[in-house]
Amino acid sequence: MWIGVVSLFPDMFDALTQQGVVGRAVEKQRIALEFWNPRDYATDRHRSVDDRPYGGGPGMLMKVDTLRAAIFAARERAQQATGLVPTVIYLSPQGRKLDQQGVQALASAGPLVVVAGRYEGIDERVVESDIDEEWSIGDYVLSGGELPAMVLIDAAARLIPGVLGHQDSAVEDSFNDGLLDCPHYTRPEIIDGRQVPDVLLSGNHAAIKRWRLKQSLGRTWQRRPDLLEGRPLDAEQRKLLNE
């Protein structure tokens, strides 16, 4: 998977790329991440990358020429690297709310150029002419699009074949089947008098699978009933519960 990132703070992405699952995926070249900094396209003495909003008011916007130069360079490189036209994504609180379904769609969409905004955002005409899709990671406000971009990239990366070992397979994840995850336990067998559920020590793999599904369903019903609305159980889940 090829991902180009347009950001004024590319160093923030070290947190994503220098350790853990995504770090390994970059090392193994399962993911290619490249960066474009609008500041590198600034030509004035102060290398400015912000500009004032028409109509006044507090805050600045990203300066249009440097932002577009970075987006165009990233788009061109995407085509050179992959032979495909990338999907250009802008992260903002005004975007479509990201969920696991959205992540799946983005992970299989081909090359992505991810634009991380700063300040009060970007000129609406740039959204209209240069951005294909606008996404949000939730209903709260962050100081910039870098963290949302990392959230998106991390979530998409773990769906790329070969990025997760089967040790931590995405197939087992919370949300892969639209339910919350079941509880997990490790050693010791007793903590402050509280035992690991017997079934997990039974060696009965069918019973364990059934118990985990029931836990997932119970938790989802209690904590996130919205996830169950209009979503009947699938055939395997019905079979497990009736066994």
Catalytic residue among 77, 93, 177, 181: 93
How far apart CA 174 and CA 179 sit, in angstroms, is 6
Closer CB to ligand 6GU, residue 70 or residue 151?
151
- Shortest distance, CB of residue 139 to ligand 6GU, whole angstroms? 7
Q: Let me know if 124 is a catalytic residue.
A: no
Catalytic residue among 173, 177, 210, 219: 173
How far apart CA 134 and CA 114 sit, in angstroms, is 10
How far apart CA 30 and CA 101 sit, in angstroms, is 21
Residues 6+ apart with CB under 8 A from 107: 1, 155, 156, 157, 159, 160
> What's the farthest any 2 CA atoms get from each other in the chain?
73
Closer CB to ligand 6GU, residue 132 or residue 234?
132
- Shortest distance, CB of residue 102 to ligand 6GU, whole angstroms? 12
DSSP state of 70: H
> Contact with ligand 6GU (CB under 6 A): which of 10, 38, 111, 145?
145
Residues 61-120 that bind ligand 6GU (CB under 6 A): 91-93
21 part of the interface to ligand 6GU, by CB under 6 A:
no
Residues 120-139 that bind ligand 6GU (CB under 6 A): 136-138
- Shortest distance, CB of residue 122 to ligand 6GU, whole angstroms? 11
> Contact with ligand 6GU (CB under 6 A): which of 40, 144, 176, 210?
144
Write down how long the chain is: 243
Amino acid identity, position 67? L
- Shortest distance, CB of residue 148 to ligand 6GU, whole angstroms? 3
Q: Let me know if 173 is a catalytic residue.
A: yes
- Shortest distance, CB of residue 119 to ligand 6GU, whole angstroms? 10
CA distances from 80 to 1, 30, 76, 169, 189 (A): 14, 18, 6, 32, 55
Say if strands 190-191 and 194-195 run parallel, antiparallel, or are unpaired: antiparallel
148 part of the interface to ligand 6GU, by CB under 6 A:
yes
150 part of the interface to ligand 6GU, by CB under 6 A:
no
Q: Let me know if 158 is a catalytic residue.
A: yes
Residues 6+ apart with CB under 8 A from 192: none
Residues 6+ apart with CB under 8 A from 79: 85, 86
Catalytic residue among 68, 118, 158, 212: 158
Q: Let me know if 231 is a catalytic residue.
A: no
Three-class DSSP category at 28:
coil
- Catalytic residue IDs: 93, 120, 158, 173
| Interface with ligand 6GU (CB under 6 A) | 91-93, 136-138, 140-142, 144-145, 148
